[in-house]
Amino acid sequence: MTSNQDTSPSSSSSSSSSSAMMTHLSQDQIFSILHLLPVESILSFSMTCKKFRSLASSGSLWELICRRDWGPTSVDGFLSSLSPQERRMVSWKKLYKEISEVGSLSCRRLVIKDGIFPTPRASHSLNFVSDCLVLFGGGCEGGRHLDDTWVAYVGGNQYRSILNWKKVNSGTPSGRFGQTCTVVGNTLILFGGINDNGIRQNDTWVGNITYDSTPEISISWQLLENVGPMAPPPRGAHAACLTRDHRMVVISQRLVGVRFRRR
């Protein structure tokens, strides 16, 4: 009994002494220890006290962890794609969590409501804009072009197991396949494509999603005119993207010739 009474205070004193020593370490010293530990251990450390929670949530620490787990090349490449202001706003802990959860994503097929849905097609455009999927055009069996526009609302936090497609337009823009449709803010920029006569296009259309009081979803397409003397030549089956400074880049493999369809 005497022995137990002697060792218990000693053990408690040793534990308190270790805790006291830890709190006297500098932030850099603690970081040098933490960034060598597994993420689970860092999270456990953060639950010790407010000071340690603050240290374990530091952006500098989580940037070190990202570099450790993903490699400096990946992190530097990510940073190079950001503006100086965006770099200052990066939440490294949140980014690490989001990337870590990518492996837990799953895909499932959505049920089509009431059997109303777009006909089978290929070389169409499908974009997510204003919480909606927007599908336009494409080619159907026999190389015929399509000129229909469909929308389906998929936004919000509620899980949706049923996809409710609605046909909102037909004939504008003119039928085509192999076009590009680029999201710019809350609008779509459609460019080019090939019609079923094999003729390549170089017209540009702007699409805007609108909601009325019903609420019903619709999209209005407007031809972009007066684009200047340097409009891209007609093309189809090309690529387009939006740069960080809001410039649309169009890339094509072939500018001339006619694409024939089977009769």
One-letter amino acid of 141: E
Comparing 65-74, 87-96, 135-144, 241-250, which segment has the lowest mean pLDDT?
A: 241-250
Could you count the other beta carbons within 10 Å of the beta carbon of residue 194?
A: 25
Tell whether 70 is covered by a domain: yes
Out of 85, 104, 123, a domain closes at 104
CATH number, domain of 56, equals 1.20.1280
152 with 247, same domain?
yes
Whether residue 263 lies inside any domain: the answer is no
Q: Are 83 and 175 members of one domain?
A: no
Which has the higher per-residue pLDDT, 237 or 231?
237
Report pLDDT for 108. Answer: 78
Residue 226 and residue 165 share a domain: yes
**The total number of structural domains that make up the chain:** 2
Mean of the per-residue pLDDT values of the chain:
83
Indicate whether 14 and 94 sit together in one domain.
yes
pLDDT(256) > 70? no
Residue 205 has pLDDT above 90, yes or no: yes
pLDDT tens per residue across span 144-158: 999 999 998 887 655
**Helix crossing, 27-34 with 59-70: angle to 10°?**
30
261 is a domain residue: no
- The pLDDT value recorded for residue 126 is 97
Residue 87 forms part of a structural domain: yes
Higher pLDDT, 161 or 10: 161
Residues 86 and 160 in one domain: no
Which residue, of 60, 84, 104, is where some domain finishes? 104
Among 104, 127, 145, where does a domain finish?
Answer: 104
Place of tokens 């005497």: 2
Query: Lowest mean pLDDT: which of 27-31, 59-63, 95-99, 179-183?
Result: 27-31
For residue 260, name the pLDDT band (cuts at 50, 70, 90): very low
Question: Does residue 236 sit in the same domain as residue 189?
Answer: yes
Question: To 5 degrees, how large is the angle CA 225–CA 230–CA 232?
Answer: 80
Inter-CA distances, 86 with 65, 81, 97, 100, Å:
20, 9, 19, 21
Q: Are residues 149 and 26 in the same domain?
A: no
Of residues 69 and 163, more confidence is placed in: 69
Same domain, 94 and 47: yes
| pLDDT digit string, tens, across residues 76-124 | 989 988 888 889 999 999 999 988 888 766 777 877 777 788 999 999 9
At 240, which CATH number? 2.120.10.80
| Whole-angstrom distance, CA of residue 7 vs CA of residue 46 | 30
Which residues are within 8 A (CB) of 127 and not within 5 positions of it... i.e. 6 or more apart? 133, 134, 181, 182, 183, 188
Determine, yes or no, domain membership for 258: no
The verdict on 91 and 115 lying in the same domain is no
pLDDT-based confidence at residue 67 (cuts at 50, 70, 90): very high
257 within a domain of the structure (yes/no): no
pTM above 0.85, yes or no: no
- Whether 228 shows a pLDDT value over 80: the answer reads no
Residue that wins the pLDDT comparison between 218 and 180: 180
Q: Is there a domain that residue 120 lies in?
A: yes
Q: Same domain for 168 and 191?
A: yes
- With cut-offs at 50, 70 and 90, classify the pLDDT of residue 262: very low
Range of the domain at 241: 111-251
Residue with the larger pLDDT of the pair 16 and 31: 31
Instruction: Indicate the burial class of 147 (C-beta count within 10 angstroms; 0-12, 13-18, 19 or more).
Output: middle
46 and 141 both lie in a single domain? no
Q: Are residues 18 and 120 in the same domain?
A: no
pLDDT for 2: 45
- HSE of 213 in the Cβ direction (CA atoms, 13 Å)? 0
Would you say 219 and 151 are in contact if contact means Cβ atoms under 8 Å apart? yes
pLDDT, one tens digit per residue, over 158-187 is 556 778 888 987 788 999 999 999 999 889
Does 229 reside within a domain? Answer: yes
d(CA 92, CA 57): 9
